[in-house]
């Protein structure tokens, strides 16, 4: 009992001490209830803190990419800016359009936010630091993560605004399209790890090496599909400001808008954390405590998402769907086949890893070649049409 | 290879991101602060680093022919205002925002009252053109926002502004010679 107070399991130690203190004067079922509620509160707090940090980070990264400073007036280096934003959101007037469907209009932000926060339950924040170590963790993540589509659809329908409705259509089309490659990539990881539990996947990477190194091709596929899932640029067609103004939250203001905002950044954090879990070894790492490693890796991935957002323009909705169905799903199927055969046929884990790596490089080159050939053919056809 | 253009674009934004930090470190203590009225940044575009000008702390110098409000100049030998209250500027002003009263005869004539209504002024520079003694000039001062409607500036204030704002030396006025 004396060495529970290490930095490694600081949070677990706090939980244990609190549980023991409560067990002193409360019945067992009440202690369980209180502790479970406390975990929910902590997860919500992590979500809100993540939103505060990420909104600030997003603005700073965007500013630096555009040779500007970003917010730097309120607090040192503008660090208090997210709090000012939050206060502004809270005191804004809450407007409900007359023609809106009040029930679904008010329900939508709740569904979106709850669906986003629920994904936190299976994120392995550190060694033994997962709220619910489900044996179907990844499946739960994929299922609950797509719950927010219903919220977006509800918002688009309830607002009674054509832009919001277009955004809802796009949500269904795009998110369901990209659910498929995400699922295929996840199955590849699950086959190598031999488990659906997030903790087991991390531990499998301790044994076999980071899956990012084993399967770079699958990783790129997952990265692109996940950025479409998280509605990040260049796939943020749902909130394309230049076409459909702000998409599904065009009619929302005040706290409800803030909830959509919250859900967006919670999704970003959860998606990046899941990417770290699946491909970058989760909380594995030397010297530092495991939860710190997890946060560092997650923020590096989030930075890459923001970097991409500030580099590439948005692509069209038909291009999004075309890439999804014509490139990503076949590539995912091929990757799945490669992973399955290699994992089944080669028993030795090191050799299997090397073969998998080579096959993945081949996959990248092959997809790139085929896409380039299709592009060239299209250009030649256009030239021929012009000549005629 | 198809798709390498994406990596090129990513490298460009990353280089810009790093460049802003490099220039920040290079001019570290002077990032937000300036001494007096002198701008720390030249208005020339930078190839690397941030081009933002942190306005209240950093100011862009106005170009030489910028037309700000009217100021009075002093005679460098005596330190007295050069104005002789001849009233030419009052007559030249298309908006009637200048009012001059003076006393004395000939070379002894001095202004007793000089009112300049900056709220009505259109900065046309007619008064400066008409002045036979080069006694007035347009300054490069541009922060004219104020909290009340009392925008009439009197002679001491114009002289003070002239001491502060006009950087050109005697005889080197713009548009002449």
Interface test with B, best of A311, A328, A331, A362 (most B CBs within 10 A): A311
Interface test with A, best of B13, B23, B53 (most A CBs within 10 A): B13
Query: Rounded to the nearest 5°, which phi and psi values hold at A377?
Result: -60, -40
Shortest CA distance from B21: residue in chain A? A64
Minimal CA separation from A88 to chain B, in Å: 24
Q: What is the average per-residue pLDDT within A213-226? A: 88
Whether B61 has a pLDDT exceeding 50, the answer reads yes
Q: Note the pLDDT tens digit of each residue in A305-357.
A: 999 988 888 888 888 888 888 888 999 999 899 888 888 888 788 888 888 88
Nearest alpha-carbon partner for A226 in A119, A151, A373, A318 = A119
Query: Which of A68, A308, A312 is closest, CB to CB, to B52?
Result: A68
Q: Is B47 on the interface with A (CB under 8 A)?
A: no
The pLDDT score that the predictor gives to residue B53 is 72
Q: Is A216 on the interface with B (CB under 8 A)?
A: no
Minimal CA separation from A372 to chain B, in Å: 5
Whether B175 has a pLDDT exceeding 50, the answer reads no
Task: Note whether ipTM > 0.85 here.
Answer: no
| A72 vs B contacts (CB less than 8 Å) | 54
Pairwise CB contact (< 8 Å): A65 & B17: yes
Q: Note the pLDDT tens digit of each residue in B85-106.
A: 888 888 888 988 888 888 888 7
Minimal CA separation from B32 to chain A, in Å: 10
Using omega within 30 degrees of 0 as the cis cutoff, is the peptide bond preceding A234 cis? Answer: yes
Give B 153-172 residues with CB within 8 A of chain A.
Answer: none
Specify the residue for token string 């919500």.
Answer: A44
Query: Which of A68, A69, A368 is closest, CB to CB, to B3?
Result: A368
* Chain mean pLDDT for chain A: 85
Q: Note the pLDDT tens digit of each residue in A177-188.
A: 888 898 898 988
Confidence of residue B48 (pLDDT cuts 50, 70, 90): low
Q: Note the pLDDT tens digit of each residue in A72-111.
A: 888 778 888 888 888 888 888 888 888 888 888 888 888 8
Q: What is the average per-residue pLDDT within A360-373? A: 88
Query: Rounded to the nearest 5°, which phi and psi values hold at B137?
Result: -155, 155
Q: Rounded to whole angstroms, what are the CA distances from A264 to A113, A232, A244?
A: 8, 9, 18
The terminus-to-terminus CA distance of chain A in angstroms comes to 84
Whether B169 has a pLDDT exceeding 70, the answer reads no
Query: Which of A61, A65, A368 is closest, CB to CB, to B1?
Result: A368
Query: Rounded to the nearest 5°, which phi and psi values hold at A278?
Result: -80, -35
Task: Point out the least confidently predicted range of A129-138, A178-187, B60-69, B149-158.
Answer: B60-69
More confident site: A143 or B53: A143
Whether B170 has a pLDDT exceeding 50, the answer reads no
Whether A227 has a pLDDT exceeding 50, the answer reads yes
Tell me the CB-side half-sphere exposure of residue A365, using CA atoms within 13 A.
6
Shortest CA distance from B8: residue in chain A? A311
Query: Which of B3, B6, B20 is closest, CB to CB, to A67?
Result: B20
Q: Is B20 on the interface with A (CB under 8 A)?
A: yes
């Amino acid at each position: 009992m004396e060495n529970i107070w290490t930095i490694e399991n600081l949070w677990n130690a706090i939980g244990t001490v609190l549980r023991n203190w409560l067990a002193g004067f409360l019945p067992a079922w009440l202690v369980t209830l209180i502790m479970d509620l406390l975990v929910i509160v902590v997860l919500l707090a992590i979500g809100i803190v993540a939103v505060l940090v990420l909104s600030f980070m997003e603005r700073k990264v965007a500013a630096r990419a555009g040779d500007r400073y970003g917010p730097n007036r309120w607090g040192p280096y503008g660090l208090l800016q997210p709090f000012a934003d939050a206060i502004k959101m809270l005191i804004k007037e809450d407007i409900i359009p007359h023609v809106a469907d009040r029930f679904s209009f008010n329900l939508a932000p709740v569904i979106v936010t709850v669906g986003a926060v629920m994904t936190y339950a299976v994120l392995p924040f550190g060694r033994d630091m997962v709220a619910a170590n489900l044996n179907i963790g990844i499946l739960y993540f994929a299922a609950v993560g797509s719950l927010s589509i219903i919220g977006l659809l509800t918002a688009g329908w309830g607002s009674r605004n054509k832009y919001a409705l277009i955004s809802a259509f796009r949500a269904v089309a795009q998110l369901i399209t990209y659910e498929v490659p995400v699922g295929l990539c996840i199955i590849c990881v699950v086959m190598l790890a031999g488990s659906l539990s997030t903790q087991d996947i991390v531990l499998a990477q301790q044994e076999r090496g980071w899956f990012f190194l084993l399967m770079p091709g699958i990783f790129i596929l997952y990265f692109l599909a996940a950025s479409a899932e998280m509605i990040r640029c260049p796939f943020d067609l749902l909130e394309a400001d230049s076409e459909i103004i702000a998409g599904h939250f065009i009619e929302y203001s005040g706290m409800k808008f803030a909830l959509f905002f919250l859900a967006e950044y919670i999704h970003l954090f959860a998606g990046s954390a899941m990417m770290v879990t699946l491909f970058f070894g989760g909380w594995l790492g030397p010297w530092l405590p495991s939860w710190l490693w997890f946060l560092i890796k997650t923020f590096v991935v989030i930075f890459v998402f923001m970097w991409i957002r500030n580099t590439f323009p948005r692509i069209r909705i038909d291009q999004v769907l075309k890439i999804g169905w014509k490139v990503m799903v076949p590539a995912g199927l091929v990757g799945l086949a490669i992973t399955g055969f290699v994992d089944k046929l080669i028993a030795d884990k090191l050799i299997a890893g090397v073969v998998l790596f080579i096959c993945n490089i081949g996959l990248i080159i092959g997809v790139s070649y085929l896409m380039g050939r299709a592009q060239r053919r299209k250009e030649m056809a256009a030239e021929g049409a012009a000549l005629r | 290879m198809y798709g390498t253009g994406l990596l090129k674009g990513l490298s460009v934004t990353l280089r810009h991101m790093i460049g802003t930090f490099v220039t920040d470190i290079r001019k570290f203590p002077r990032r937000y602060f300036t001494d007096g009225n002198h701008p720390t940044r030249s208005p020339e575009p930078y190839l690397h680093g941030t081009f933002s000008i942190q306005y209240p702390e950093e100011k862009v110098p106005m170009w030489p022919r910028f037309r700000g409000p009217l100021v009075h100049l002093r005679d460098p030998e005596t330190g007295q205002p050069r104005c002789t209250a001849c009233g030419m500027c009052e007559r030249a002003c298309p908006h009637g925002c200048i009012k001059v009263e003076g006393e004395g005869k000939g070379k002894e004539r001095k202004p007793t009252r000089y009112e300049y209504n900056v709220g009505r002024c259109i900065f046309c520079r007619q008064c400066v053109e008409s002045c036979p003694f080069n006694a007035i000039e347009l300054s490069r001062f541009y922060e004219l926002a104020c909290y009340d409607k009392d925008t009439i500036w009197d002679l001491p204030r114009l002289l003070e502004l002239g001491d502060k704002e006009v950087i050109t030396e005697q005889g080197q006025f713009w548009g002449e010679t």
